[in-house]
Amino acid sequence: MERQHYSNEFKVQVIQEAEEVGNKAAVARRYEITPNMLHRWQKQYHDGGFAGVDADAASNQEVGELTKENDHLKQLLGDKDLEIAILRDLVKKKNPHLLKKLK
């Protein structure tokens, strides 16, 4: 009998279903695997995950970094808009005829 190889994504899907249902044996039977195999997969998953499946943690970290960078860029943009408004006010007060050229 040839050994079956399952993708990490499939393993995670089965593990999550087993945890939602609460019945390892029924889920294992549905996917035609042994309950012991499902138990090993769960242990491996909770001990450190599968290679390439920890993408959720990595993507969450990346989203956090991008959000932080986005907030920083919004702050810079706001600062620049404020500087432009201040400079336009100064030009308007000192040289009103130049304001027409700025528009």
Domain-located, residue 19:
yes
Domain-located, residue 95:
no
Domain-located, residue 9:
yes
Domain-located, residue 96:
no
Q: For the chain, what is the domain count?
A: 1
**pLDDT for 13-46, tens place per residue?**
899 899 898 898 999 999 999 999 999 998 888 8
Q: Which pLDDT belongs to residue 51?
A: 63
Domain-located, residue 2:
yes
Let me know: does 23 contact 42? Beta carbons within 8 Å: no
Which residues, including other chains, have CB under 8 Å from residue 38's CB and lie 6 or more apart? 14, 15, 18, 24, 27, 28
Which tokens is 4 given?
């079956």
Let me know: does 43 contact 24? Beta carbons within 8 Å: no
Residue 2 one-letter amino acid: E
Question: What CATH number is given to the structural domain containing 40?
Answer: 1.10.10
* pLDDT band per the 50, 70, 90 thresholds, residue 9: confident
**pLDDT for 46-58, tens place per residue?**
887 776 555 555 5
Confidence (pTM): 0.48
User: Which residue range is the domain that position 45 belongs to?
Assistant: 1-53
Report the chain's C-alpha Rg in angstroms.
29
Domain-located, residue 45:
yes
**pLDDT for 67-89, tens place per residue?**
999 999 999 999 999 999 999 89
